[in-house]
Chains A and B, each alone.
Chain A
Amino acid sequence: MITVLKLFAAFFKIGLFSFGGGNAMLPLIYQSIQQFGKLSGSDFSDMVALSQVTPGPVAVNAATFIGLKAAGMTGAVSATIGVCLPCFLIMLIVIKLLDRYRNSTIVEGAFAGIRPVTIGLLLSAVIFMMNSVLVKGPVISADMADIGYYNPIPIAIFAVSILLISLVKMKPLHVMLLMGAAGAVIYGVM
């Protein structure tokens, strides 16, 4: 029972202090799980790998995995709720504050600044995702001149997705389903 509460507290803290989404949380997760002695370094690398290839937010995957390893099903539930709760509560408070101060020049100005930054962050997330998917390492690297550095199949899927969404106006969900199926067939059969 104490482990379950500790898990909740540890992941509540992780949810509260992590900025920048899933991958930025990993160092903090690594530090805070040391107290649950049952977890080894290879458990951690398993967790990172699993979180990357399973559906859903990386932080929730990580919380479920560590909770499960440390204290079974109740541990999984408690760590997952712990990591979600701070974001949920903070967001509710921020919505109320935003509604109240919507017309203040400070809030207007802050939004004028954050909105474009959002675009920059999204595009840097794309660059991060392209690493080791579209190319065999970092997107910007000395190996860029080498044709073998590029992964042709993902690059083709990437290009077709852009065409489907912008010219054919297909739904994002359908593009992902179609490309997931294409990937399964191409990699599975080849």
Chain B
Amino acid sequence: MINLFWEFFKIGLFTIGGGAAMIPQIQHVATVEKGWLDDEEMLDCIAVGQSLPGVIAINIATYVGYRKRGLAGALMATFGVALPAFLSIIILVAVLGAIGDNRFVAGAFMGIKAAVCGLLIVSSIKLLMQMCGKGAGSRPVGKSRIVFTVIMSLASLIAVGFFGLTAVAVILAGIVIGIVYYRVESMKSSQEVQK
């Protein structure tokens, strides 16, 4: 329990410049280091965390905490991930100017942000590989599913990153397309079984 709190406190502390920055770290801690979730659960956790309204970091902390230790675990993880944000503002406002203008602190944040960009790209590739059945310990995946997954990833990247569509629109579109695709795919495979 204390463990959940402490790990999420550390994650909150290094989530600089938005919730997505926490994903490489949470992925590593929850699946590799602590074994709280397997790869597939982690994928679903990130997918659900991004799809629901509100703060992504809180969504993910609640999910992981609940899976690990029920309601109390969810509370501990959420408290842990929110506390650094709360404390840093309280402290900063108290000494405003002293830290924000410090070259060393500004440089440290610059370094962390640049590093997070790199970490996040590696995380995304890892997640994509798992979805395509290429990661360590992931389930084998059919060819049409791999094509579907890659096209959907690229399409949503282009829609949000380059055309500025909102995340909600892309997620809703993803849900609808996914349901239709799944229907078609399961119809096809049942026809093959009949043959």
* Closest B residue to A69 using CB positions: B93
- B131 interface residue (CB < 8 Å to A): yes
> Across the interface, which residues of B come within 8 angstroms of A109, CB to CB?
178-183
Q: Mark B95-115, 1 if CB is under 8 A from A, else 0.
A: 000001001111111111111
Contact B15 A56 (CB under 8 A): yes
Contact A80 B86 (CB under 8 A): yes
* Closest B residue to A156 using CB positions: B114
- B116 interface residue (CB < 8 Å to A): yes
Q: Which of A105, A123, A185 contacts B157 (CB 8 A)?
A: A123
> Across the interface, which residues of B come within 8 angstroms of A57, CB to CB?
12, 15, 18-19, 55-58, 81-82, 85
B163-181: which residues lie under 8 A (CB-CB) from chain A? 166-168, 170-171, 173-181
Assess A113 versus B181: contact at CB under 8 Å? Given A92-B66, A122-B123, A179-B115: yes
> Across the interface, which residues of B come within 8 angstroms of A21, CB to CB?
18-20, 50, 55-56, 167
Q: Mark A61-98, 1 if CB is under 8 A from B, else 0.
A: 10011001100010010001001101110111011001
Contact A19 B53 (CB under 8 A): yes
Give complex CA distance A68, B123 in Å: 36
Q: Mark A15-36, 1 if CB is under 8 A from B, else 0.
A: 1111111111000000000000
> Across the interface, which residues of A come within 8 angstroms of B183, CB to CB?
105, 109
Assess A58 versus B104: contact at CB under 8 Å? Given A87-B62, A95-B66: no
* Closest A residue to B185 using CB positions: A112
Assess A92 versus B74: contact at CB under 8 Å? Given A56-B88, A64-B85, A109-B182: yes
User: How many contacts between A and B, using CB within 8 angstroms?
Assistant: 381
Count of residues in B whose CB is under 8 Å from the partner chain = 112
Interface residues on A, range: 35 or more
* Closest A residue to B88 using CB positions: A54
Give complex CA distance A175, B117 in Å: 12
Contact A119 B153 (CB under 8 A): yes
Chain B CB within 10 Å, residue with most, of A24, A117, A161 = A117
Contact B181 A187 (CB under 8 A): no
* Closest A residue to B151 using CB positions: A116
Chain B CB within 10 Å, residue with most, of A60, A95, A182 = A60
Q: Closest approach, in angstroms, between the C-beta of B17 and any C-beta of chain A?
A: 6
B54-95: which residues lie under 8 A (CB-CB) from chain A? 54-59, 62-63, 66-67, 71, 74-75, 78, 81-86, 88-90, 92-93
Give complex CA distance A88, B71 in Å: 10
> Across the interface, which residues of B come within 8 angstroms of A53, CB to CB?
16-17, 100, 106, 109
Give complex CA distance A188, B15 in Å: 22
- A5 interface residue (CB < 8 Å to B): no
* Closest A residue to B170 using CB positions: A117
Give complex CA distance A68, B91 in Å: 11
A interface residues with partner B (beta carbon < 8 Å): 15-24, 49-50, 52-61, 64-65, 68-69, 73, 76, 80, 83-84, 86-88, 90-92, 94-95, 98, 105-106, 108-130, 133-134, 140, 153-155, 157-162, 165-166, 171-173, 175-176, 178-188
5 closest residue pairs by CB, A with B:
A113-B178, A183-B111, A56-B85, A187-B107, A120-B156
